[in-house]
Amino acid sequence: MRFHRQTISVEEAVGKLLQQIGPLEPEEVPLAEAYGRVLARSVAAAYDLPPFDRSPLDGYAVRAEDTIGAAPQTPVTLQVVGTIAAGEVPNLVVGKGQACRIMTGAMIPEGANAVVMFEQTEHPGHMGRTVRVKRAMKPGENLSRRGEEVRQGTCVLKEGTTVGAGALALLATFGTAVVPVRRRPRVGIISTGSELIEPDQPLVPGKIRNSNSLMIAGMVRDAGGQPVLFGRMADELEEAKRQLSQWIGQVDLLVTTGGVSVGDFDVIAALVDEPEFHLLFQRVAMRPGSPTTAFVYRDKLVCALSGNPSASYVGCELFVKPVMAKLLGKEAVTPTVTDAVLAEDYLKPCPYPRYLRGRLQVRDAVLYAYPDKNDKAGMLVTLHASNCLIVIPPGGRGKQAGERVRIYPLATSEQMLF
Amino acid sequence: MRFHRQTISVEEAVGKLLQQIGPLEPEEVPLAEAYGRVLARSVAAAYDLPPFDRSPLDGYAVRAEDTIGAAPQTPVTLQVVGTIAAGEVPNLVVGKGQACRIMTGAMIPEGANAVVMFEQTEHPGHMGRTVRVKRAMKPGENLSRRGEEVRQGTCVLKEGTTVGAGALALLATFGTAVVPVRRRPRVGIISTGSELIEPDQPLVPGKIRNSNSLMIAGMVRDAGGQPVLFGRMADELEEAKRQLSQWIGQVDLLVTTGGVSVGDFDVIAALVDEPEFHLLFQRVAMRPGSPTTAFVYRDKLVCALSGNPSASYVGCELFVKPVMAKLLGKEAVTPTVTDAVLAEDYLKPCPYPRYLRGRLQVRDAVLYAYPDKNDKAGMLVTLHASNCLIVIPPGGRGKQAGERVRIYPLATSEQMLF
């Protein structure tokens, strides 16, 4: 198979992967541990919000009809019948000619239909028996009505939402003490290649340190999964099969890097010729990473990424992240591709679409994409500074500065846009 | 002080906060735990990368001069003197008329100065005594030279970089087994207001659940800090002072929500009149959140945010996050403000700049900002869907659709751009 592989597009390849899987089972976590998790069920408003008519500011609850004609030069004097603090249930009624001192968030007392802010009264700090109101109020002015923000039963958070600060606020408000979320996918990470030594081992001639496994682990964490580092796969076929049969049961997805090409010792390329592995694809129309391979083993997906750092990175972004998003039941499974203006020439022709690392910048509301000038497949020095992939279409002459390009934005812990 | 506060701009307020603090002390963590942390020291390349001349593909290492005139119809036959796997140190020399089978990542043997890929030879899968090369090679073609990616000693990661997948790859490559990072800031979170009950308590009339504390905790985590939830501050001044004196020693920064306004029970407004608190500001030219207050207590900063959800959110974004970024020694302390096109009218006039929640979208490479139509200060239903703050300048008539606006992009775990 090595030299005669069928080539499919990135989109077809992603489609083949996603067909194999569905969302993981839900589990329940306490609200305080829900940060970063993905909701397994939509959340509806448990009651009206606000739950009662309340004052949005500090002032006096009044009857609007009592303030007709009130102005700085012609204030209206009202009798103060009490004070309502936030959290209290008022035990008074505001009658004709009366007002009630009221604090932000407090329940509107019966009889009142507007709130005058302190600053529109005389001597606001003073708690006297009367208050002089300097402004005519309209009925309903400065009232937050029960249910005006959201009505009981309305869906406020959709299944598939990742729980961040804003979602935490909503879950807290509606008293969701236990949150139904998807189990985090366990993603096994395996390296291949006899040239690799681990980061804590001394460097020796001919070897390089394994940078892919920790990089993929970081990307798995970015995507909401739990990386499980299995170390290096044996070069020898039977031993590699034995390892895989041990590892596959411990995870929801396996990601390997390297060994997918046409080299004499490329173990993945050898594995997929074995009958127990169901090959999905072995060649994708893309650069870097055209030998990217995927297969199914014991009902689980194995994404076998090309081994050089840039190809592993792009492959993880294009293939592993959508798979993880689907396992997590996320609302959006594939990234939103958008348009940008290419900021600098990229004139290298390529038979396949090239997924070029780059950096986005906004100037005058226009989105510019700067290609990474160090984007050789092996290059990892500029990886950490990329925040998009720029798609250079195949054939022709590349793209010139000023031309429109498609981009995949990459939003991760280190890659803020702009 | 309550009714006669001096107003300063957001930029001045941020400046006053940042003046008070510097980066926290560094600490060392194992590489596997460095994800998400901020580098406390720059990292230089420990050696040339690649560390030796190597082959970027699977093929044959040759002497370019031996392939002159080679073409599909006129292949050149070379004698194969061996195979070099990745990770091996070659123990052979490629002489005149010779070639050596070589795998991706393997060291280039002495004598060779180019690599012909398998696909440009005859019968690539076949390991014969000779190989027929179908292409004339240039000296240096398909060689990755030692140091071509980065030279030993070059700075590859700057102090202040947040460690994500790409940085992990670099740290692994250079064998940084122990990583110097900033200690995570411990951020104490305190709520105020007698109307608040906690998310796990039953709702009773007049009360609402505390949503701010968990929301701020989420934002603190977004920003790389450790939230410490202290619960509710007493309304009574002496008890509140006793609490603060206990709590302040346990954290690097305190954030409170509520109690900053002109209400009768606003405990923060009362606290800052006390001599042991050094007031920095008590009114900021912004909506929502103009009563935002900050003070120094026992050499630590206390950011006292306005209590309604939207104001707390904006205040945390504008004030707490830059403070945390400086404590973490991040490269960029304040967010990069950029321009977008306002996608819909926002015609509400305001005496102060308004920091309106919104959502960014790219169409035809132009960045559009959609204002959140539910952006009342109390509104939290749409918080989780915002991914930017749109700045509506003060005075006048707001902004019309199509006008240029300044935006603060918000990149968090839930808020992917576009």
Q: What is the pLDDT along chain B (418 residues), one digit of tens a residue?
A: 456 789 999 999 999 999 999 999 999 999 999 999 999 999 999 999 999 999 999 999 999 999 999 999 999 999 999 999 999 999 999 999 999 999 999 999 999 999 999 999 998 877 889 999 999 999 999 999 999 999 999 999 999 999 999 999 999 999 999 999 999 999 999 999 989 999 999 999 999 999 999 999 999 999 999 999 999 999 899 999 999 999 999 999 999 999 998 888 899 999 999 999 999 999 999 999 999 999 999 999 999 999 999 999 999 999 999 999 999 999 888 888 899 999 999 998 889 999 999 999 999 999 999 998 765 655 677 888 888 999 999 987 899 999 999 999 886 544 344 3
Of B169, B206, B261, the CB nearest to A104: B261
pLDDT of A230: 97
Measured CA to CA, the distance from residue A376 to residue A350 in angstroms comes to 13
Of B31, B105, B222, the CB nearest to A195: B105
State the burial class of residue A127 (Cβ atoms within 10 Å of its Cβ: 0-12, 13-18, 19+).
exposed
Tell me the three-class secondary structure of A321-387, residue by residue. HHHHHHHCCCCCCCCCCEEEEECCCECCCCCCCEEEEEEEEEECCEEEEEECCCCCCCCCCCHHHCC
Q: Is A216 helix (H, G, I), strand (E, B) or coil?
A: helix
Angle subtended at Cα A278 by Cα A277 and Cα A280, rounded to the nearest 5 degrees: 130
Q: Which two tokens stand for residue A257?
A: 């890097």
The proportion of chain A whose per-residue pLDDT surpasses 70, expressed as a percent, equals: 96
Residues from chain B contacting residue A262 (CB–CB below 8 Å):
58, 118-119, 124-125
pLDDT of A311: 94
Residues from chain A contacting residue B222 (CB–CB below 8 Å):
164-165
Alpha-carbon distance B399 to nearest alpha carbon in chain A (angstroms): 16
Of A50, A211, A413, the CB nearest to B172: A211
pLDDT of A375: 59
Q: Of 3.40.50.2030, 1.20.1090.10, 2.170.190.11, 2.70.150.10, which CATH number belongs to A59-133?
A: 2.170.190.11
Q: Where are the domains of chain B?
A: 10-24+183-327, 36-47+148-182, 59-133, 338-409
Residue A418's pLDDT band, with cuts at 50, 70 and 90, is very low
Q: Residue type at B178?
A: V
Q: Do A215 and B165 touch (CB under 8 A)?
A: yes
Question: Chain A: residue nearest B38 by CA?
Answer: A414
Q: Do A212 and B169 touch (CB under 8 A)?
A: yes
Residues from chain B contacting residue A31 (CB–CB below 8 Å):
199-200, 214
Q: Do B378 and A149 touch (CB under 8 A)?
A: yes
Alpha-carbon distance B100 to nearest alpha carbon in chain A (angstroms): 13
| Matching residue, tokens 């122990």 | B178
User: Which CATH superfamily includes the segment(s) B36-47+148-182?
Assistant: Molybdopterin biosynthesis moea protein, domain 2 (3.90.105.10)
Of B365, B412, B418, the CB nearest to A366: B365
| Cβ contacts from A onto B, under 8 A | 381
3-state helix vs strand vs coil in chain B, percent to 5: 20, 30, 50
Count of helix runs (H) and strand runs (E) in chain A: 7, 22
pLDDT of A415: 39
Measured CA to CA, the distance from residue B45 to residue B171 in angstroms comes to 9
Q: Of 2.40.340.10, 1.10.760.10, 3.40.50.300, 3.20.20.30, which CATH number belongs to B338-409?
A: 2.40.340.10
Residue A414 has pLDDT above 60, yes or no: no
Work out whether strand B98-102 and strand B76-84 pair parallel, antiparallel, or are unpaired: parallel
- What is chain A's mean pLDDT, rounded? 93
DSSP A31: G
Q: What is the mean pLDDT of residues A214-232?
A: 95
Query: What's the Cα-to-Cα distance from A246 to each of A212, A214, A233, A301, A413, rounded to whole Å?
Result: 22, 21, 12, 15, 32
- Sign of torsion over alpha carbons A87, A88, A89, A94: negative
Complex ipTM value: 0.94
Q: Do B149 and A418 touch (CB under 8 A)?
A: no
Question: Chain A: residue nearest B365 by CA?
Answer: A340
Q: What is the mean pLDDT of residues A360-365?
A: 92
Task: Name the residue among B168, B172, B166, B173 with its Cα closest to residue B150.
Answer: B173
Residues from chain A contacting residue B122 (CB–CB below 8 Å):
none
User: Which residues are CB-neighbours of A73 under 8 A, at least 6 positions away?
Assistant: none
pLDDT per residue as tens digits for the range A97-124? 999 999 999 999 999 999 999 999 998 8
Q: Is B218 helix (H, G, I), strand (E, B) or coil?
A: helix
Residue A17 has pLDDT above 60, yes or no: yes
Q: Do B381 and A49 touch (CB under 8 A)?
A: yes
Residues from chain B contacting residue A417 (CB–CB below 8 Å):
409, 411, 417
Of A124, A172, A415, the CB nearest to B164: A415
Question: Chain B: residue nearest A338 by CA?
Answer: B362
Query: Can you give the pTM of this predicted structure?
Result: 0.94
User: Which CATH superfamily includes the segment(s) B10-24+183-327?
Assistant: MoaB/Mog-like domain (3.40.980.10)
Backbone angles phi, psi at A334, to 5 degrees: -105, 150
Burial B266-287 (b: 16+ CB within 10 A, else e): bbbbbbbeeeebebbbbbbbbb
Q: Of 3.90.105.10, 3.30.450.20, 3.40.640.10, 1.10.3470.10, which CATH number belongs to A27-48+157-182?
A: 3.90.105.10
pLDDT of A349: 87
Of B171, B172, B414, the CB nearest to A163: B414
